[in-house]
Structure 1
Amino acid sequence: MNEADIPIDIHTLKLQDWLVSRRIVPKTIQKNIRDIRTKISNALQDMPANDQLIKLLSGTNINYYHCKEIVEILKQTEKDTKSVFGTYGSQRMKDWQEILRFYEKDNVYLAEAAQIYVRNVNYEIPGVRKQMTKLEQQSDECLKRVHDLGKPEAQLLAEHALLLQQLGIKGENLREEFLQVLGNLPGLYENSIRNIGKLQEAINLFSEGSEKPCLPILRYLIEFGNTTVYQYVHKEAPLTIEEPAVKLNLSDANAVAIAASDNEIDFGGDDNGGTSSTISAEIIDFGEFTFEDNNSPLEEEDAVNLDENSADIDWGIESEPSAAVEINFDIPIEEYGIVVEGAGMDGGIAKGEQAFTILDSPSYRDRFLDEIYELEAFLCMRLYELNQLDTSSNIMFSLMDSISTYDAVSIRKMLTNIEQILGEICSEQTRHLFQLKHSPKYADLLATKLKQMMKAVDKIRDTKEVLKKRSIELMQQRVDLNPVLAELVSQTKKLQLNIENDISKRYKNRIVNLIGGVN
């Protein structure tokens, strides 16, 4: 095989060592390269205005091969300074020709070209590609983050819409909407106990074997419904209901508009139901007492001492003795201006907690829930006993006499009725409105919660917009690196070709391959 046909393969990482080992370039050429770079910087200060030169020098690190191209261009621009002996009088041409001589001395140009080529292959090109990949990853991460933020945003919006739905408001004017929606409470209470009569059988089962009355609230609600606490306590409907005013402590930041000055809520009702707050009360006129002496002195322990200037009762405070007064009990009390309230449904005035209905009163509502939970626990225990009775041949405990009359199916039906009533009386809407009415701070808590939800949604949306813009910017930076990479690859390939040709000339034009170069 002919020696000229044998290729010379040089690995890129070993190119510089290969050139030194073949004594093509000396070991120490860095000082020479620095001197040449200084001369190039000085020569670039005085360059003619030429489009080819501008294009050649723009964004390029000048090397030996660029200097050769510059000299060729200067031969055209400085040809007027050329003498008959072939020399140029232009200082520009002299400077660049001197630079070429320094490059060609000791083959410095080849050593520099090898350094630039190795640096581009091992660092510059991989660095640009790595930066482009990193920009792509960062852009994708921004888009992924935008997608991930959609889940908490949708969750917050769903929770916000659910809370508004539970409250039955739109969220536009919280104070007015809160006051308006509180008027739905009586209807919710009535709807929640519409099937309470189905608990009568369970109450009867609970009461068997007990001598004392039990579950009084449940029994009362079954018989009379959700009446006022006054009627439950006094066994008669009130003549007038003076329900405490609803107080909503909404801060200015949470209240969209100022609520009406009258916060009292009229739940309607009739004269007999005892739920109307518009019924006029009869004024009780006690009149003025004028006792006449009828020669019937009172005993000392029963005497009532009247002040000479008023009709106040003396409850034992010592005073100056006054004349004994005798009371004629035969005189009708109507003559004294006393109006006696009637019996039955003609009651008095329901104030304070007694003006609330049983399910609307905090204390009586708790008692109602305690009773219904107690009844539920009792039925669960009876159901467990029945199951034990069915699965065990030996009865290890005694059951109540009437348990045989109720099977597991009937008890489960009773439990279903209880669960239905509990589900309605403890629904989210009822719970929110109950707290809203009886807790002054609850309105502000709800308003703050709604505001924080929307504030979090706005923050998420702003973050998504920032991430989208950032993703676009990163992708633009990635696109801007494409021409940089293309130019760098092109220059590196030219260097590779020049190095291979230069080495090939030194070895009788044998083929030279730089392995591990640019793809």
Structure 2
Amino acid sequence: MQLQKEQELPIDIHTNKLLDWLISRRVCKQEWQENILTVREKINNAIQDMPAVEEITQLLAGTYINYFHCLQIIELLKETESDSKNIFGRYSSQRMKDWQEVVKLYEKDNVFLAEAAQLLIRNVNYEVPSLKKQIAKCQQTQEECNRKEEEYAKNAIQLKEKFYETCKQLGIEGVNIRKELVSLLNDLPDIFSRVTERMMDLNSAREYYVEFLNFTLKRDDIKQICVPLIGHLIEKGNTTTYEWRTGTVPEVVEGSQPKVPLDMDNGQSSCVPDDQIDFGSDGIDFGDDQSSSTLNGDFVHVDKIDFDDGEQAISLDDGGEINWDISVETSGISDLAEVSESVTDKGGGDSVRVARGSDALTLLDNPETRSLFLNELMELKGFLSQRIVEMKTEGDVLLSSQFQEAPATVQLQTADEVQKMLDMVTDILTQMTNVRMKHLCLISDSPKYVDRLTESLRQKLEQSEKMELSKQAVMERRKTILEDQRQLEPKLDLIIKKTKILQKQIEDTISKQYKNRPVNIMGGISVM
């Protein structure tokens, strides 16, 4: 009874200890690896001469031939080599003899069991985990590819949207960028004309500012020093810088605005005369015919002006705003803007007032006076904004002791009226400082700016195209990885299936050697 109970007790063997367990219990010998070399050599020779049977072909294809496979091959050869069986029941076929010899060498000292144990350990510890790791890596790579594909697609769309948004701000279509940018200069005269017409609306605001400062500062020259350029534009319009500087109208204006060359084909700078936008180089005669003829041949030659504004690049921020930190040096203009002088004709006639260089530019065309104009608008806006705040905190201005002696134009102004003045100033300031206007002024002031802005816009499109190419490359990689995964998964299923079969065969073999006691190989493929 006790012996029967012992035979029913299972033998539990851990997979990693299986080979050591077989050697320690003398089921296999320590030097089994030396004997297995002979067996492998016999198998390799026997494989060379095999019948064209589908079952045998499938059995030998892509697998490691072990002892149990050899038994199956012999069973299949019994059918294919049945004609070679003699009267004593033995096979005269060399194929059968080769495989029978392989089986005998395997069974000697249980070499087959040691080899099967080693193969099981290798499959469980290395082959299966390696395939699973490769499949997991493929899945991870596919997820990364999906993420990158979305990012590239998103970035491509954002870059293209920024390009079209900037083009919309500039008022161009973005087909022939440089040509369209230069053609925008045709809009500047109309814009300056509209701004000049609006200046009359600022007369009340400037008068209010002058009266307020005159009352508070008690100075006689307030009208001359209080936003004088705005006063000049209100009174005389967008005159030449010469008239603003000297107070007299020039009789002759020598053109000094640089030309912006334009290549219609590739958008690069060229010197083709037909493609240039000429801002005028001939003298404009504001006097009589006699004055013009007197100056014949005596005009001072004006060279091409170099608006070298350094190497600063256009910066389009992610938010769609444009970094205007660009300096436009006007050294060329300064050199040419010699003090506009009176020119005497050769006949000894009266002198003629000639505006040349920067003096020949209108106030809004001239970068320096335009900047001064914007500063004065900001000054006037700041004053009106502060007065609105003070009015709301002071209450009734008439009751304020400090304004009892102020002029009626100061005392009678209400917060609503001052707000209307502020709105007019803000509106003109917005017209002069919006994105499109800033670009137009920079294009007019510096031909190099056109090239940099064109290149900046082109880079947006190029980057968008690169993102699209990167997206396609990631998609191709994802497809390749997916195909690799599809090839690995059947291999993993196959090796797991064969490893389970091998584990079962080893358990049955050990069980027979221990009087059919149940054998369990622990930690094997079944737990993976």
TM-score between the two structures when normalised by the length of structure 2: 0.75
Aligned to 2:115: 112
Call closer, same or farther: CA 1:489–1:259 in 2, change over 3 Å: farther
Q: Which amino acid aligns with 1:148?
A: E
> Tell me, what secondary structure is at the counterpart of 1:25?
coil
Q: Residue 263 of structure 1 aligns to which amino acid in structure 2?
A: I
Write out per-residue CA displacement over residues 281-329 of structure 1, whole angstroms, 9 at most, x where no aligned residue.
Answer: 8354459xxxxxxxxxxxxxxxxxxxxxxx997xxxxxxxxxxxxxxxx
Using the TM superposition, give the Cα deviation of residue 381 of structure 1 relative to its aligned residue in structure 2, in angstroms.
5.6
Name the CA shift for 1:194/1:517 in 2 (closer, same or farther; >3 Å): farther
Q: For 2:16 and 2:33, locate their aligned partners in 1 and report how far apart those are by CA, in whole Å.
A: 18
Match of 1:124 in 2: 127
Point out where structure 1 has 5 or more consecutive residues left out of the alignment.
Answer: 267-275, 288-310, 314-335, 342-346
Instruction: Read off the aligned partner of 2:372 and give its amino acid letter.
Output: R
* Residues 1:280 and 1:166: Cα distance change in structure 2 (over 3 Å): farther
Amino acid at match of 1:60: T
SS of residue in 1 equivalent to 2:274: coil
Alignment-mate amino acid for residue 375 of structure 1: L
**Contact kept? 1:254, 1:448, Cα under 8 Å:** no
Contact 1:285 1:337 in 2 (8 A): no
What per-residue deviation string (whole Å, max 9, x for no partner) do you get for residues 339-395 of structure 1? x99xxxxx98765434433212112112212322333444456567668878xxxx9
Whole-angstrom CA distance in 2 between matches of 1:263 and 1:312: 32
- Aligned-residue sequence identity (percent) comes to 38
**Residue 505 of structure 1 aligns with which residue?**
512
Paired residue secondary structure (1:441): helix
> Mean alpha-carbon deviation: is it higher for 142-151 or for 81-90?
81-90
**Residues 171 and 281 (structure 1 numbering): CA distance in 2 closer, same or farther, change over 3 Å?**
farther
Which aligned pairs between 1:220-235 and structure 2 lie closer than 5 A?
Answer: 220-229=232-241, 232=244
Correspondence for 2:80 = 77
**One-letter identity of the residue aligned with 2:41:** T
Deviations 1:163-219 (A, max 9, x none): 222222223234432342211112223444554444334423432323211222101
Displacement of 1:248: 2.4
The CA distance in 1 between the partners of 2:345 and 2:220, in whole Å, is 48
* Aligned equivalent of 1:263, options 261, 265, 277: 277
Contact 1:173 1:256 in 2 (8 A): no
Matches within 5 A, 1:320-359: 352-359=357-364
1:176–1:260 CA contact under 8 A, matched in 2: no
Query: How far off is 1:51 after superposition?
Result: 2.4
> CA shift at 1:479, angstroms?
0.8
Deviation of 1:162 (Å): 2.1
The one-letter amino acid of 2:145's match is C
Question: Conserved in 2, the CA contact under 8 Å of 1:142 and 1:471?
Answer: yes
1:52 matched to 2:72 = no
Question: Which residue of structure 1 aligns with residue 313 of structure 2?
Answer: none
Aligned to 1:218: 230
SS in 2 for 1:122: helix
Instruction: Verify the 8 A CA contact 1:286 1:337 in the aligned structure 2.
Output: no
1:371 to 373, 376, 396: 376
Aligned counterpart, 1:491: 498
Shift of 1:450: 1.6
The one-letter code of the counterpart of 2:220 is: E
Q: Deviations over 1:411-462 (max 9, x none)?
A: 5554444333222201111111111122121111111112211111111111
Is 1:439 matched up with 2:446? yes
The aligned amino acid for 2:267 is N
Distance in 1 (alpha carbons) for counterparts of 2:172 and 2:523: 72
Given that 2:262 and 2:276 are in contact with CA atoms closer than 8 Å, whether structure 1 keeps it comes out as no
Pick which of 421-430 and 397-406 moved more.
Answer: 397-406
Work out whether residues 71 and 97 of structure 1, in 8 Å CA contact, stay in contact via their aligned partners in 2: yes
In structure 1, what is the equivalent of residue 299 of structure 2?
Answer: none
Q: How does 1:281-300 map to 2 (within 5 A)?
A: 282=289, 284-286=292-294
Query: Partners in 2 of 1:79 and 1:278 — Cα distance?
Result: 123
1:466 aligns with 2:473: yes
Considering fraction of residues, name the structure with more helix. 2
For residues 278 and 120 of structure 1, what CA distance do their matches in structure 2 show?
A: 100
Unaligned runs of 5+ in 2: 296-343
CA–CA distance in structure 2, aligned partners of residues 400 and 98 of structure 1: 131
Query: Which residue in the other structure is 1:318 paired with?
Result: none
Q: Give me the whole-angstrom Cα distance separating, in 2, the residues matched to 1:243 and 1:485.
A: 83
- The Cα of 1:46 is off from its aligned counterpart by 2.8
**Partners of 1:174 and 1:255 within 8 A in 2:** no
Matched, 1:12 2:24: no
CA contact (8 A) 1:250 1:443 kept: no
CA distance in 2, matches of 1:278, 1:73: 115
2:79 is matched by which residue type in structure 1? Answer: Q
Q: Output the aligned Cα RMSD.
A: 3.7
Look up the equivalent residue of 2:368 and give its one-letter code: S
Alignment pair present for 1:248 and 2:260:
yes
| Other-structure match for 1:305 | none
Distance 1:30 1:386, change over 3 A: farther
Matched ranges for 1:296-307 at <5 A: none
SS for the counterpart of 2:173 is coil
Shift of 1:81: 3.2
TM-score, length basis structure 1: 0.76
1:182 to 182, 185, 210: 185
- 1:211 partner amino acid: D
Output the CA distance in 1 between the equivalents of 2:273 and 2:171: 18
Q: What amino acid maps onto 1:260 in structure 2?
A: D
Q: Is the partner of 1:248 in helix, strand or coil?
A: coil
Per-residue Cα deviation, 1:260-291 (whole angstroms, up to 9, x for no partner): 3452259xxxxxxxxx989998354459xxxx
How far apart are residue 114 of structure 1 and its match?
Answer: 1.3
Distance 1:458 1:160, change over 3 A: same
Question: Which residue identity lines up with residue 361 of structure 2 in the other structure?
Answer: F
On the 8 A contact 1:13/1:118 being kept in 2, the answer is: yes
**What is the DSSP-based 3-state SS (H/G/I as helix, E as strand, rest coil) of the residue aligned with 1:260?**
helix
Inter-partner Cα distance in structure 2 for 1:127 and 1:183:
70
Contact between 1:249 and 1:443, CA under 8 Å: does it hold in 2? no
CA-CA distance at 1:17 after TM superposition: 2.8
**Number of residues paired by the alignment?**
454
Q: Give matches, 1:158-169, under 5 Å.
A: 158-169=161-172
Opposite residue 247 of structure 1, the aligned amino acid is K
The AA in structure 2 aligned to 1:418 is V
- For residues 69 and 181 of structure 2, the distance between their equivalents in structure 1, rounded to whole angstroms, comes to 82
Q: Which of 134, 138, 145 is 1:135 aligned to?
A: 138
Tell whether the 8 Å contact from 2:250 to 2:286 is kept in structure 1 after alignment.
no
User: How far apart are 1:475 and its partner, in Å?
Assistant: 0.6
CA distance in 1, matches of 2:200, 2:253: 27
Change (3 A) 1:133 1:448: same
Q: Deviations over 1:458-491 (max 9, x none)?
A: 1111111000011011111111112211211121
> Are positions 1:451 and 2:458 aligned together?
yes
CA distance in 2, matches of 1:400, 1:94: 133
Whole-Å separation in 1 of the counterparts to 2:97 and 2:89: 12
Which residue of 2 is the match for residue 31 of structure 1?
34
| Contact 1:248-1:444 at 8 Å conserved across structures | no
